[in-house]
Every structure is written in C-alpha cells, then in structure tokens.
Structure 1
Amino acid sequence: MSIGILGTKVGMTQFFDETGLSIPVTAIQVGPCVITQIKSMSTDGYNAIQVGYKQVVEQKLNKPLLGHLRKSQLPSLKYLREYLVESIDGFEVSQVFSSDMFEVGQKVNVSSKSVGKGFSGYQKRHHFSRGPMSHGSKNHRQPGSIGAGTTPGRVYPGKNMAGQMGNKKVTIKNLQIVSINTENDLLLLKGAVPGKPGALVKISK
C-alpha cells in the first residue's frame, strides 16, 4: 500500500482544458503532511507510516497526543493517520509530503465523511416508490409492509427503513487529477468529492 496524503475540501468549480471544454472539478487543499512515526515489524509487529496533518494550538490536543508529537520534536498536529507499507526504507520522521507527490492525469481514491442529512424517510433514503396520491389514499409516503409475519416474528437487522442518512465514510475511486497548483498545494480532481467544504479528505494513489 502506498503512502497517501491528507487534505481539506475547498469546494467545487470548473476548469477549462486546452480545447475549451468545461470540466467540473473539486478543489482540495492537500498537505503539507509530516511523518510522525515509523512502525516496524520488529517493534510493532507490522510496517506502517504514521502521517500528521493540520497544525493547531496546543490547547486543542490532549496530553498523550502532545507527548507523542514532542517525542519526535514535531508541532501540534490535529489529525494522525496510518498507512501500511511493505518496507519502511526511504522514510524518516519529520519527512514532509505535499502536492508534488502527484502528477496531472493520475487517478486517485478519495475518502471523506459524507454530508449528514439527519433523520430521513424511506423515499429520500432508499428511493422507495410513493403510494397513490388520489383522494382517500392513506399511504402517500408510508413504508407499507415490511414483510415480517408470525415467522420470523421479528424484523431482520439491516432492513431498509427510515433513519440517519449520510454522515458516513465514503470512498470515491479513480478520480482523475486535472490540475495541480504546487504554490498553494491545491489539487483539482475531476468530479465530486464527498463531504462539506472544510471536511477532512484522505487521498491515496
């Protein structure tokens, strides 16, 4: 598994290519990310690289996390993520990653937490069909039968019903990098990325 990078979703805009074609893109502020810890097979039982992102004031972190970062003489970083690697050769603590690790035309996977829609009904959440809208019908947006009878005498777990919609981790695969702004560490990805502007985004090759 290759090392990924953390970033922040800025928002959506459009990008015009050489032919004048308008491409919908999502702008993501990536990095700089710092290697905060290197885990090896001898010490931890597996090889992994821990990456930190987004420096904040010390008061926003708890003491165990601050102690972990001070051990390597690193600034107070809000987010820490691990990436499994086959070999830890070539990595060192305090090494910095930014947008220069990507290339235009490369495809990446993007993970983020989707926008929360709150408690939603059957039609919005699971695309159920509505009932008759004519006079006398009492089933406009109701769920109808849920299929359970004397046998099994209960509702199976995972049944499509009303409930919390969104606010879950979503991964969009194979998004193409349209443009890279190395000065501001901005990536423009073709298409939409889950989450609100300002949401934490994880990008992996």
Structure 2
Amino acid sequence: MITTLLGKKLGMTQVYDAQNVLVPVTVVEAGPCPVVQVKTVETDGYNAVQLGFGAQKAKNASKAEAAHAKKAGLENTPRLLNEVRLAAAPTVKPGDVVTVAAFTEGQTIDVIGITKGKGFAGVVKRFRVAGGPASHGSMFHRRIGSIGMRQTPGRSWKNQAMPGHMGSEQRTVQNLSVVKIIADKNLILVKGAIPGANGDDVIIRAGKKAKKA
C-alpha cells in the first residue's frame, strides 16, 4: 500500500478538536497523485512507484515529459514527480490515482519540505552567537570573534559556525498528527508547522518513527 503523497503547503490556521481545544494546524493540499511509472525487482532491480502532482501547461512541458505522462495514460503532464520506494511489489498500475484516503485522522506522519531561504546571514542570526557589547564604542557588535587557535592547530576546525547562506535546505518534521482530512477538497490538516513557505511543495508520508501507544 502506498502511504506517501505529494502536496502543497497552503498556510496555517486553527481548529477545535474533539475535546474543544484550539489546535494550530497547517493546511496541505495533498494529491490527487497519479501513478506515472511502476518499478519492480524484475524490471528495475527494486520496487517503487513514481507519483505525479499538479499539472503544467502543454507549452511548458518538454517532449520527454509529455511522452512519459502520455505513456501512463495521463491527460496532463504532472508538474512534480517523485519516486516512492516500496518493500513489496506494487499492486497499482500506471494511471491509478492515490488520494488522501491513504491517510486517516489521528495518524502519525512525516512531512518533508524545503525551508524558507534567508539569503546570506551572519552568525548572530544563523547560529545565535551572542556577539559583543551593543554600545559604548566597542566596535564589536554582531561579529563572530575568534574562530581558531594560533600555533596549534594553526587553523579553524571543521564545521566552525561561520556567516553564510541560510535556509533553502531539505528538512523533515517527524511525528506530526493528522487532525482532519477533507477528502472532497484533497486537504489534510496537520498539527503544528511544517517546512517551507506557503505554496511550496511538500512530501507527506506515514511516520517512520511513530511513537508506540
């Protein structure tokens, strides 16, 4: 059974649960995801399915992308493709559609996304370095300070916190709860926050490290 969906983060809101407690949730448009390709041990050496999400204009799709989608019997070329590994041979075939029915309310899931890009950032913002005095002419406010020793080892250690590019990295948030599923609108309300900005693509999968009851 496929327990992974591609989706898009729409934004955050809040809903009341069964105990009348206000819960912050992230609204995710999950699927529908057509099966574009099926891989098996016999044909490819491993079991997997390739899922699609969204649709792109015909003029924007390359001939290879359009032919790949047409081979699966799809009318539109998916905007996003992602391969999902499976332990057993797939029971689906190209053209089948995976929907939010793959998940249930209360289930524990993982969400994978790309974090917001912050551009070039200093160490105070990037690594929460304390910096120096903020006044009295210290000339040392938000700088990094010493990054190594003099004679031994005479260099900076690996992984030293330094200014640099911040954000735009793949991150996985684990053990989130599905608060509500709105099947007719392909929406999943996930408790808490997930990586990325509104409108960014995300991957939703069954929790790999779900806490035992």
Query: What TM-score comes out, normalization by structure 2 length?
Result: 0.90
> Which segment drifts farther, 55-64 or 177-186?
55-64
- After superposition, the CA RMSD in angstroms is 1.6
TM-score, length basis structure 1? 0.94
Summarize the alignment of residues 18-33 of structure 1 with structure 2, pairs less than 5 Å apart.
Answer: 18-33=18-33
Alpha-carbon contact 2:48-2:90 (below 8 Å) kept: no
Superposition pairs for residues 59-74 of structure 1, below 5 Å?
59-74=59-74
What is the correspondence of 1:30-49 to structure 2 with a 5 Å cutoff? 30-49=30-49
Q: How many residues align?
A: 205
How far did 1:52 drift? 0.8
The Cα shift of 1:19 comes to 3.0
Residue 133 of structure 1, CA deviation: 2.3
Checking the alignment, whether the CA contact within 8 Å between 1:4 and 1:203 is kept in structure 2 is yes
Match of 1:160 in 2: 161
Query: Helix, strand or coil for the counterpart of 1:179?
Result: strand
Q: Structure 2: which 5+ runs fail to align?
A: 207-213
Check the 8 A contact 1:26/1:190 in 2, yes or no: yes
Report the Cα distance in structure 1 between the residues aligned to 2:99 and 2:4, rounded to whole angstroms.
Answer: 10
Percent of residue pairs bearing the same amino acid type: 38
Would the alpha carbon gap of residues 66 and 126 (structure 1) be closer, same or farther in structure 2, given more than 3 Å must change? Answer: same
2:2 and 2:147 mapped to 1: Cα distance? 45
Partner in structure 1 of residue 201 of structure 2: 200
The residue number in structure 2 matching 1:15 is: 15
Maintained 8 Å contact 1:49/1:88: no
Q: Which amino acid aligns with 1:136?
A: G
1:15/1:142 CA distance change after superposition, 3 Å: same
CA distance in 2, matches of 1:178, 1:54: 24
User: SS in structure 2 opposite 1:100?
Assistant: helix
SS at match of 2:23: strand
The worse-fitting range, judged by mean Cα deviation, of 26-35 and 63-72 is: 63-72
